[in-house]
Amino acid sequence: MWIFVMFDLPVGSKAESRVATKFREFLLDEGFEKSQFSVYARFCNGKEQFEAYLRRIEGNLPSDGEVHILTFTDKQYENIIRFSGQRRKRPQKNPDQLALF
């Protein structure tokens, strides 16, 4: 299963910008990879692990802005069509196994 976190956070002031940066850094520290500027993705091994990540994200939500969390199955993730510029990119492969660091 894949988790996608999409967010739109205010960055009009230095304080708001710091809060948005802190949230992005939190996602990176949790093992999420940047897919687009405000879209981060991570593979997880099922519903229990998803629920654990969801609780950690909820505990680190900024006070303002919008955060959306989606889940995709491996099959749905394989079917995502990606473009870079005008060229279609090859589909990304699902990880064979969970890598521990």
Nearest Cα to Cα of residue 69 among 92, 44, 89: 44
Give a three-class secondary structure readout of 13-79: CHHHHHHHHHHHHHHHHCCCEEEECCEEEEECCCHHHHHHHHHHHHHCCCCCCEEEEEEECHHHHHC
Reported pTM: 0.81
Q: What is the pLDDT along the chain (101 residues), one digit of tens a residue?
A: 999 999 999 999 999 999 999 999 999 999 999 999 999 999 999 999 999 999 999 999 999 999 999 999 988 888 888 887 877 766 666 555 555 54
